[in-house]
Amino acid sequence: MKNLKILKRGVLSLVVLGLVFTSCSDNNEVAETGDLVQDTDEVQKSAEIDQVDTILADLVVDAYEGQEQSELGRTSYTDGIPECVTITVVAEQGYREVTLDFGTEGCIIHGHLIQGQIVFDYIRDTEAQQIMINYNLVDFYFDAKNIIASRSILKELSNENGNPQFTHDLSITVIWPNGVQASREGTRIREWVEGFGSSIFSDNVFEVTGNWTATFINGNTHTYEVIEPLRREVICAFFVSGSFDVQRTNFGGLFDYGIGDCDNQATFTFNNGTEIPITLN
Q: Is 194 helix (H, G, I), strand (E, B) or coil?
A: strand
Q: How far apart are CA 135 and CA 56, in angstroms?
A: 10
> Is the model's pLDDT at 123 over the cut of 90?
yes
How many other CB atoms sit within 10 Å of the CB of residue 87? Answer: 14
Q: Which position has the higher pLDDT, 97 or 44?
A: 97
pLDDT, tens digit (0-9, with 9 covering 90-100), for 102-114: 999 999 987 789 9
pLDDT at 183 over 90: yes
Is 21 or 216 the better-scoring residue by pLDDT?
216
Residue 151, pLDDT score = 94
Does residue 208 contact residue 226 with C-beta atoms inside 8 Å?
yes
Q: What is the mean pLDDT of residues 159-187?
A: 94
161: β partners: none
What is residue 238's DSSP assignment? Answer: S
Of 123, 135, 74, nearest to 96 by C-alpha is: 123
Contacts 24+ apart (CB under 8 A), 223-226: 223/247, 223/248, 224/186
Q: Which amino acid is at 162?
A: G
Confidence of residue 149 (pLDDT cuts 50, 70, 90): very high
Residue 218 pLDDT: 87
pLDDT on residue 111: 76
Report phi then psi at 158, rounded to 5: -155, 120
**Residue 251: domain span:** 2-279
- Sequence-distant (≥ 6) Cβ neighbours of residue 16 within 8 angstroms: 40
If you count them, how many residues does the chain have? 281
> What is the structure's pLDDT at 161?
92
Q: Does the pLDDT of residue 30 top 80, yes or no? A: no
Q: Is the dihedral of CA 157, 161, 163, 166 positive or negative?
A: negative
Residue 94 burial by Cβ neighbours in a 10 Å radius (0-12, 13-18, 19+): exposed
Strand partners, 138: 117
Q: How many domains does the chain have?
A: 1
Least Cα distance to 208 among 193, 196, 223 occurs for 193
Give 3 or 161, the one with higher predicted confidence.
Answer: 161
Give tens-digit pLDDT for 73-96: 765 555 558 889 999 999 998 899
Q: In this predicted model, what pLDDT tens digit does every residue of 58-68 receive, in sequence order?
A: 788 888 888 88
What tens digit of pLDDT does each residue of 262-278 get?
888 888 888 888 888 87
pLDDT higher at 251 or 190: 190
Q: Which of 215, 216, 205 is nearest to 239 (CA)?
A: 205
